[in-house]
Amino acid sequence: MIWAKEEMLSRENLQNLQLERLQQTIAMVYNHVPFYKKKLDEFGIKPADIKSLEDITLLPFTNKDDFRDNYPYGLFAVPMEKIVRLHASSGTTGKPTVVGYTQNDLDNWTEVVARIVTQAGVTRGDIVQVAFGYGLFTGAFGLHYGLEKVGAAVVPTSSGGTEKQIMLMKDFGTTVLVSTPSYALHMAEVAEKMNVINDLKLRLGLFGAEGCSEEMRREIEKRWGIVATDNYGLSEVIGPGVSGECGCKDGLHINEDHFFVEVIDPVTLKPVHPGEKGELVFTTLTKEALPVLRYRTKDISHLNISPCSCGRTTARMAKVSGRSDDMLIIRGVNVFPSQIESVLIDIEGIAPHYQLVVTKRNHLDELEIKVEVTAQAMAKGQLEMQRLEKTISRRLQGVLALRARVNLMEPFSMERFQGKARRVVDLRQAM
Ligand code: DLL
């Protein structure tokens, strides 16, 4: 099923709508957000100068630091009386990024999430367990209202209390799970231990908020016996609902009538050629409380604007392959954690729990890969452990041309995550 006619507009009609909304957004930020007025004045741009969608490249970018510098409400375009909800995303350092919504923003958010859950395959008969943390994080509340709008029964378990989650999943007959991929994996492990997987009605997973390689997706599908779909978003733009996969699982449909997407080269900041990989940049087209121009996501992906076999005509973004600021440069080699994940998960005897630790010794970068082995592999003894270690080293060297120290960890010994996983520990600055 397709939720909204806007998902099937011709490119021409879509672009006309986008231009009209872009012009309104620029006028709004110029008149109501001193930060943008100053920036546009510095660039010598007046709202009336934006006459086509291509003119968007004349506009300044917005970065996460701009949110921090204007903490908490400096980027809002409406007075506080019009704000009806606040969320925040906790950065690794310093103050969180604060985002606000008017009632109209919440209605639009509900609408775009209704679209992405429908395209993933959720229907009104479904019982959906939302295992994202309810709170300042946009994930749980964002999915919650869109799911209710399509008529699904929402079970707001939040994250944590995993055994109880599984018990409720069984007793309530939950058919759809919403969580991060890493929590889904942890929940599967607990359900296996409780020996209830075969008693569950779960058929579908909507996973997002962090990267997940195709190998990890297959692992989750196998463990649960479900179809796992990916959905993407970020607080600064709205939260979840920016894009999501349909049943074809061939890219995430972007809600382009609400979010204008560009892909840029993160170094030159110029647009890449159509279809090439680069950093996603979004401009909101309908947000009232917190419109953003050209927000640099740091997320790496590429676009496909050909219509999908599901009937939708919206551009599809490839699964995010990493963040430009996640990329590790180890002895001059560029390494994305997702590449290492892909290698590890495909190896028999390895459990999908790992951590990358980067240190420096004698001025040289060192990469240590801590990875759990399965109980079955462990039971095979020392020789099997040596074989596994060698296999991992050889495959990593083949893919990354990089030598890494492999540290096999005992089954169930590594940290499990209820929200976004922390896979990389880079200690080089501290050394
Ligand atoms: O994670 C919003 C969200 C919640 C999306 C629930 C989907 C589901 P933030 O906490 O602001 O917002 O984090 C945004 O998370 O820039 C990406 O780096 C990453 N991210 C989000 N979804 C995906 C995904 C939410 N499907 C940041 N694949 C983004 C890869 C993702 N990375």
Residue 239 Cβ inside 6 Å of ligand 1? The answer reads yes
Per-residue confidence (pLDDT) for residue 430, from 0 to 100: 79
User: Which ligand 1 atom is nearest residue 323's CA?
Assistant: 18
Cα-Cα-Cα-Cα dihedral sign, residues 40, 44, 47, 50: negative
The residue whose C-alpha atom lies closest to atom 18 belonging to ligand 1 is 299
For residue 258, how many C-alpha atoms fall within 13 Å in the half-sphere facing its CB? 27
Residue 323 Cβ inside 6 Å of ligand 1? The answer reads yes
Cα 46 to ligand 1 centroid, rounded to whole Å? 33
Cα 300 to ligand 1 centroid, rounded to whole Å? 12
Burial of 176 per CB tally in 10 Å (0-12, 13-18, 19+): buried
Residue 257 Cβ inside 6 Å of ligand 1? The answer reads no
User: Which ligand 1 atom is nearest residue 239's CA?
Assistant: 2
Top mutation candidate among 109, 230, 234 for ligand 1, by most atoms within 8 Å of CB: 234
Task: Pull the structure tokens for residue 246.
Answer: 């349909």
Residue 75 Cβ inside 6 Å of ligand 1? The answer reads no
Top mutation candidate among 119, 143, 299, 418 for ligand 1, by most atoms within 8 Å of CB: 299
Q: Which residues pair with 80 in a beta bridge?
A: none
Q: Are 272 and 278 in contact (CB under 8 A)?
A: yes
Terminal-to-terminal C-alpha distance of the chain: 54
* Three-class DSSP category at 133: coil
Residue 230 Cβ inside 6 Å of ligand 1? The answer reads yes
Cα 332 to ligand 1 centroid, rounded to whole Å? 28
Per-residue confidence (pLDDT) for residue 168, from 0 to 100: 98
Per-residue confidence (pLDDT) for residue 324, from 0 to 100: 87
At which residue do the structure tokens 């925040």 appear?
A: 88
> What does 317-364 look like in DSSP terms, one character per residue?
E----EETTT-EEETTEEE-HHHHHHHHHTSTTEEEEEEEEEEEETTE
pLDDT tens sequence for the chain (431 residues) = 999 999 999 999 999 999 999 999 999 999 999 999 999 999 999 999 999 999 999 999 999 999 999 999 999 999 999 999 999 997 666 789 999 999 999 999 999 999 999 999 999 999 999 999 999 999 999 999 999 999 999 999 999 999 999 999 999 999 999 999 999 999 999 999 999 999 999 999 999 999 999 999 999 999 999 999 999 999 999 999 999 999 999 999 999 999 999 999 999 999 999 999 999 999 999 999 999 999 999 999 999 999 999 999 999 999 999 998 888 999 999 888 999 999 999 999 999 999 999 999 988 999 999 999 999 999 999 999 999 999 999 999 998 888 899 999 999 999 999 999 999 999 998 77
Backbone angles phi, psi at 418, to 5 degrees: -100, -20
Give the C-alpha separation, 4 to 371, whole Å. Answer: 44
User: Which ligand 1 atom is nearest residue 233's CA?
Assistant: 5
Residue 232 Cβ inside 6 Å of ligand 1? The answer reads yes
The residue whose C-alpha atom lies closest to atom 27 belonging to ligand 1 is 234
Top mutation candidate among 232, 296, 317, 324 for ligand 1, by most atoms within 8 Å of CB: 232
Residue 139 Cβ inside 6 Å of ligand 1? The answer reads yes
Give the C-alpha separation, 8 to 97, whole Å. Answer: 33
Give pTM, 2 decimals. Answer: 0.96
The angle formed by the CA atoms of residues 264, 265 and 271, to the nearest 5 degrees, is 40
Q: Which of 99, 29, 35 is nearest to 69 (CA)?
A: 35
Task: Pull the structure tokens for residue 175.
Answer: 């058919």
Task: Pull the structure tokens for residue 51.
Answer: 């006459």
Residue 240 Cβ inside 6 Å of ligand 1? The answer reads yes
Residue 178 Cβ inside 6 Å of ligand 1? The answer reads no
Cα 138 to ligand 1 centroid, rounded to whole Å? 9
Per-residue confidence (pLDDT) for residue 401, from 0 to 100: 87
Give the C-alpha separation, 234 to 138, whole Å. Answer: 8
Q: Are 140 and 134 in contact (CB under 8 A)?
A: yes
Per-residue confidence (pLDDT) for residue 91, from 0 to 100: 67
Residue 210 Cβ inside 6 Å of ligand 1? The answer reads yes
